Structure formats: structure tokens, C-alpha cells
Structure 1
Amino acid sequence: MFDGMQRRVVSIWFPRLASDRVLRQYPLDGPFALTLKQRNSNRIYCLNKSAENHGLQQGMPYADARAFCPDLQSRIASPKQDHRFLCALRRWATRYCPWVGLEGEDGLVLDITGSAHLFGGEDTMLADMRMHLIRAGVSVQIGLADTRGAAWAMARYGEGIAPRGQVLAAVEPLPVAALRIEDHISISLQRLGLRSIGDLAKAARAPLTRRFGPGLLLRLDQALGLRAEEISPHMEPPHFAVRMTLPEPIGLLSDVMTGAERLLKQLCAKLKSHEMGARKLRLTLRRVDQDHQQVELRLARAVHDQNRILPLFERGLDEIDSGFGIDQLRLEATQVERMPAQQVSYVADSGQEKLDDLISRLGTRIGLENIHCFLPADSHIPERSFIVSPAAYCEPAGGWSSPNPRPLVLFPPESIAASGPRPPSRFRWRRMSLTTGRAVGPERIAPEWWLEDENWRSGLRDYWRVETREGRRLWLFYTPQNPGWFVQGEFV
């Protein structure tokens, strides 16, 4: 790519990335640390400079840290937010060169070949990086060398710039741990007297390979430039948004729907190519007076079919005030989900798609959270054998796994006047006189002893399916430990 040009690599290390991220939002003075549960104990995950000055170290138990430093303030660490913060720093670093990648969980690597002169030279570029990061409250160490391995070593063990073509001279005094090798290999090398990279470079290679494997010399050769090492830039996630600027303002609903149809066609094509589906869509309409109107659409399932999405916009667009006209439309999928390609057939059942579209239509009127469905729950207790969940945020599940049928209608137990362990031949329920025609049972259900339930304090229940001569099919139970009969459900 850069023929005849010496490759130059920058390694940026953030030694206190996690704590700096939190302290940017919640500034405070004094020792501070983030904690994370590791190895069955709460341990120090990251700490600021003040905490390090008090003798605290990463990985030590939090209880010991509080004993050493009673004034220590702490918060729970969030590695996911730290990663997002690192990705934000990566996007910022693209101002210096387009070839920027992630270096582990706390660093960046930049291939600045051919771009340093745009900032007045390498010294000026690194000074500008350091100045902006320190102003942002981020601790940083930067290394620059001809290879990625040497730049990594310079950033963490000897911050500075390695002169062009003098990699070995720059990294020679650094410890062997600077070669990105495992800790136990580094300790073993030091026990053999090979404490620096220079010592390792002068040692015989064959014995080192037999004892430590080829990985050790691979790291050495990569640092010295004897073997190539790629820098893979971190790819930005695809942005699912399309825009249309109109030569003349429009205001009719039919014209806006036509514009939305064209945008949906482009957006759905992009979603399909990435095997994604939209769950939330936002259509922004810019008026000629620079005011903006928005229509948001939430779908019950991920969709990338424009014919299913377009009709759902009509109700929202009908309420838009176009003013003196709309001159720009922008459609964005604000929430997407994976939607892998599936084998389809002309005999495929589209019933589920129709149900999803119905839920989406109703959701635009009353809200998706207000449309519920019943899902099976892992419990033999009738009252706990199901859960109620928003239909748009759960997948259809199978039926209840029970050897005996369950009534479709359940209600709180209603007492009836009867005695004995067998269903009564005649009884009154809800002001109706009923006669038992056929009874099947009993099915004994015991309470879940590990849960406190006021309704099951009567103990065991013997359930019966009772068919009455009047046509009612009821679910009765008898409590032998506290004799009594109750009706709890009805078979429809």
C-alpha cells in the first residue's frame, strides 16, 4: 500500500481506562476503585492514581483494600460500558489516520504510515494525542515504532518514540514481558537470566524453541520486524438509515407515502443484505421552515419486508402537520435484530406473520406493552403454571406439559358445601344447583414447600374433573388436611 515508505505504528495504552470513564461522569478527589466479582470474591478491577499511591493493586480483594485504605471510594465495574468507551476513543483516533484497531481491552493501535506529516511530524502528532486525551481526563501512555510489537512494548514499558530502522536498539533494554508473552513464560525466562529483550535476542534460538515452543520467538520476530504482523481496523457497525431531499416541497399524504415507500425499499434492501430486521423505525420529515416532524413505528417482530411495514406508517403520517411543505425525508432503523435467511416455500404458513402484523397495528394505537400473551411456566401449581408477558417481546412457546388436562378458565378457589373425599353427587355453585354426572380423579398436587403462598396453607389438594348433568364441566379440589371442597376452574 505504501511502497518504498517505512511503516510506522502507534500504540496507545489506557492504564486506567475503566476508572477514568467513571470519574469523567462522577468527579471526586481521593482514592477510588472499581470492583468486580472474580474468583468468588469481590476484587479490585481498576483504580485511580491516588489509590495506587496508597499501595492498592489491581486484583487484590476489596476487603483487604478497605483495610489498607479506609477512605477508599468504590463503584461496581461495567466491562461492557468500558468497551463502548474504548470504541468511542477508537472513533476519535481516526482523526489521525483511517487505520485504527483495538488492542486488547485497554488500548488502540494506529498505522500512521504516510499521515504524520499532516500534523507537523511524529513528535507533534503524539503530543497532540496526549494533550487531547489528558484534557478529556483519560490517562494515557503512547509508543511509536516500526512494528506493532515494538510500539506495544514502548507504550507499556518505555513510553516514547523508536527511531526509524532502530527497533532493536529501542526495545533492547525493555523486560521480556514487553513481548506480549504469558506471565509464566516471562517468569521462567527471568529465572534463566534472560531478563531483557536484548538478552533474549542474543540467546540461542533452538533451545528456547524446544523449551517454550514457537510462540516466544514469533513474538520476538514480530517486535523486531523479522515477521509481518497485520493491523486489522475495527469495522464500524452498519448504519441503517436512508435520506431523500426533494427538489420541491410536498404536503399531500399520498406524496409523503410515496416518498416513504422509496426509502423503505432502500432500507429493507440494506437490512436483507446484512440479514437484519427492523424492530423500531423513525421517519423524520423536515419542513421548509426547518421544523422537524417525526413518526416512530415499533414492530412486534423483526421485519425487512417493505410491503408489511409501509401500511403501518399511514396512521402516523395522517396526523403530521406539513406546514408550508416537506423538503426532506429521513428513515432510520433505530433498533434492529438478527434475522438469518430461512428456507421458504409456496406452501409455507403465513399465519404467524399475519398475527405479528396485527399486533403491530394494535400496538401503534394502544402500545405494544399493552398486548399480552400467556406463556407456560415450569410449575405444577395451577396458579403458577403460566406467566403473562408482552406479546411483542416473547417468542411463541409450546403447550403446557402436563399428563392431565387443565381448564382454560382459572379463577380463585370458590368454596362449596360438601363433605367426604369424593365429589358430592349434588352441590350449589354460583346460585346454580348442579348434579354430578361423571367424575375423574383424584390428581394430588402438593404445595411448593420452598415458597410462601397464603392460598396453599390448607396443604395438599386432590383435584377432580367433574362433568355435571346440566352441562358444566368443572375443576374441583378437596383438601384432606383441612377438609373442604372448592371449585377453581371450568373446562370450556
Structure 2
Amino acid sequence: MSLPEPIGRHADVMAGLARLLDPLCAQLVARGMGARRLQLDLHRVDHSTLHVQIGLARPMRDPARIAALFSAKVAEVDAGFGIEALRLSAPVTEPLAPEQITTQGGSPARDDMADLISRLGNRIGFEGVQRLHPAPSLTPERTFRLAPAAGAPDPDPCPVPPRPVPPRPIAIFPPEPVLGAFGHPPASFRWRRTRYTTLRATGPERIAPEWWLEDPAWQGGLRNYWRIETAEGPRLWMFHTPRRDHWSVQGEFA
């Protein structure tokens, strides 16, 4: 698109981008495609060209959402003595089937997540954005796996476990030692330099190590897990290792 007069303000560049996005997205719709990468070329009056690129977490052809992702990068553009022409292209596209549009006008949760991943990816690099996907294991450390967030398909549901699994904590971390814990469950204990008193306890849930995998963290053998509600407030996920007679905290409930 050639301009009758050079422009330089952010609002003017975004207005020109909007005029280019509508026909581009219409072409994508006609071909059943969605853009994964877009490039906006800004031709300045000094005959230099600026290239503004954005990547997308999943194929997209929604002009408003694409413009929102361009906005931050266009704001960093040095227009110099002015921009006299704009060119928009989609160098990377993928098939995109038609989707149901909600009657409320709100974006589906999946689109909101894709927009968030796109914003983060364009800021820090898509290789630095990963998601946790469920994995078919009862061992707490292996119930998830890391996968690239951009372009990854929706995770397949895990196989149904052979028995109902008790609730899991909202945060799981490497086991942390507990001091002064006696009894099953302990009436009181010390964790992270704080003394806690057990108010209620549910358990035990016995989890055995996956013998076909070598894991130094499970050299102590099977674990008996307890859900501990403390008088001080925290709701902890603790386990006892019978072989070593040792208590540890591995998670915290909301």
C-alpha cells in the first residue's frame, strides 16, 4: 500500500496495517489456511526498509488479534523522515479449518492461551516458552512432561489409571526433609525452619518406585503419602519412607 503522504505515528502505522490485514485474512479464509508468521515491511522515504515480524503459537487469521500482537513491535519502529509504503505478507502458513464462533462474542480459552504464548514468544523467543503436558505415570515427578508451547497440539488425555487417584497438590517440588517428625502421621514436625502441628491427616497412599527406571531419588524404596492439614494453615503433601524411616514434604495444596 502506497501512501499519499509519509507517516510516522504509531496510530497511523497501525491504521495502515489494519487496512492490509483484512484482505490478507480474507485470502487465508478462502484458501483454508492460517498464518504462523507475518511480516510487515515499512518503506521509508530515505529508501530504507524496516522489517517487523511476529510469530504465532497456532495458525491464525483474525485481524484484530494479529494487530494486537503487532502493536508492541510497531511502537519500537524508528520511522525516520517518514514511511511512504507498507507491505504485509504471511511467509509461513498452515491449514486451518473453520471454527465455531461463540454467540457471546468472547474468545475461547484456547485462543486466549495462544495469544499469551504468542506475546511471550515474540518477546523472549518461542524456544523459551514451554508447557506442561500430562504423562501416564503415578510417580509424582513423572506425571508431566515439558513440550514446546508454540505449535504443539493439544495434549492427549492420559490413560485412565487402574484405580482412582487421590487429589494432588497444586504445587509439587523436589522432596524437602522434615525434622522432628514422629508417629504416623507425625503430631508435629519442623519444615523450612518453621514448627507445624498436625490438625488433620488423610492417608496413607502408597506409591512404589517404577522398578524399570533407575531414579536416584527413589533409592529409598516405596513411599507412604499423607495429606496433612496444619494448625498454622499450610496443607502439605508429605511422605514417609519406611526403609529409611524418614519424612519429607513434596507438595502444597491450595
With normalisation by structure 2, the TM-score equals 0.85
1:355 to 2:85 alignment: no
1:449 to 2:211 alignment: yes
Question: As a proportion of its length, which structure holds more helix?
Answer: 1
The equivalent of 2:232 in structure 1 is: 470
The equivalent of 2:149 in structure 1 is: 391
C-alpha offsets along residues 47-77 of structure 1, whole Å, 9 cap, x if unaligned?
xxxxxxxxxxxxxxxxxxxxxxxxxxxxxxx
> What code does the residue aligned with 2:121 have?
G
C-alpha offsets along residues 170-215 of structure 1, whole Å, 9 cap, x if unaligned?
xxxxxxxxxxxxxxxxxxxxxxxxxxxxxxxxxxxxxxxxxxxxxx
User: SS of the residue aligned with 1:393?
Assistant: coil
Does the 8 Å contact 1:277/1:303 carry over to 2?
yes
Superposed, 1:35-434 pairs within 5 Å as 244-246=1-3, 248-347=5-104, 350-352=107-109, 353-397=111-155, 403-416=165-178, 417-419=180-182, 422-434=184-196
C-alpha offsets along residues 13-49 of structure 1, whole Å, 9 cap, x if unaligned?
xxxxxxxxxxxxxxxxxxxxxxxxxxxxxxxxxxxxx
The count of corresponding residues between Structure 1 and Structure 2 is: 248
Q: State the Cα distance separating 1:345 from its structure 2 match.
A: 3.6
- Find the aligned partners of 1:337 and 1:257 in 2 and give their Cα distance: 25
User: SS of the residue aligned with 1:284?
Assistant: strand
- Find the aligned partners of 1:315 and 1:427 in 2 and give their Cα distance: 51
- Find the aligned partners of 1:318 and 1:429 in 2 and give their Cα distance: 49
Return 5+ residue gaps in structure 1 as ranges. Answer: 1-243
> What code does the residue aligned with 2:138 have?
H
Q: State the Cα distance separating 1:248 from its structure 2 match.
A: 4.8
Q: State the Cα distance separating 1:273 from its structure 2 match.
A: 0.8
Of the structure 1 ranges 407-416 and 359-368, higher mean CA displacement relative to structure 2 is found in 359-368
Question: As a proportion of its length, which structure holds more strand?
Answer: 2
C-alpha offsets along residues 155-177 of structure 1, whole Å, 9 cap, x if unaligned?
xxxxxxxxxxxxxxxxxxxxxxx
Does the 8 Å contact 1:268/1:305 carry over to 2?
yes
- Find the aligned partners of 1:403 and 1:468 in 2 and give their Cα distance: 23
Q: Percent identity?
A: 51
Does the 8 Å contact 2:209/2:218 carry over to 1?
yes
1:440 to 2:202 alignment: yes
User: SS of the residue aligned with 2:87?
Assistant: strand
Structure 1 residues 345 and 252, CA gap change in structure 2 (3 angstroms): closer
- Find the aligned partners of 2:60 and 2:130 in 1 and give their Cα distance: 20
- Find the aligned partners of 1:408 and 1:452 in 2 and give their Cα distance: 27
User: SS of the residue aligned with 2:212?
Assistant: coil
Q: If you compute each CA radius of gyration, which structure gives the higher value, 1 or 2?
A: 1
User: SS of the residue aligned with 1:392?
Assistant: coil
- Find the aligned partners of 2:139 and 2:242 in 1 and give their Cα distance: 17
Structure 1 residues 436 and 250, CA gap change in structure 2 (3 angstroms): closer
Does the 8 Å contact 1:419/1:483 carry over to 2?
no
- Find the aligned partners of 1:255 and 1:348 in 2 and give their Cα distance: 27
C-alpha offsets along residues 77-110 of structure 1, whole Å, 9 cap, x if unaligned?
xxxxxxxxxxxxxxxxxxxxxxxxxxxxxxxxxx
With normalisation by structure 1, the TM-score equals 0.46
User: SS of the residue aligned with 1:270?
Assistant: helix
Q: State the Cα distance separating 1:484 from its structure 2 match.
A: 1.6
Does the 8 Å contact 1:282/1:331 carry over to 2?
yes
- Find the aligned partners of 1:319 and 1:490 in 2 and give their Cα distance: 42
User: SS of the residue aligned with 1:254?
Assistant: helix
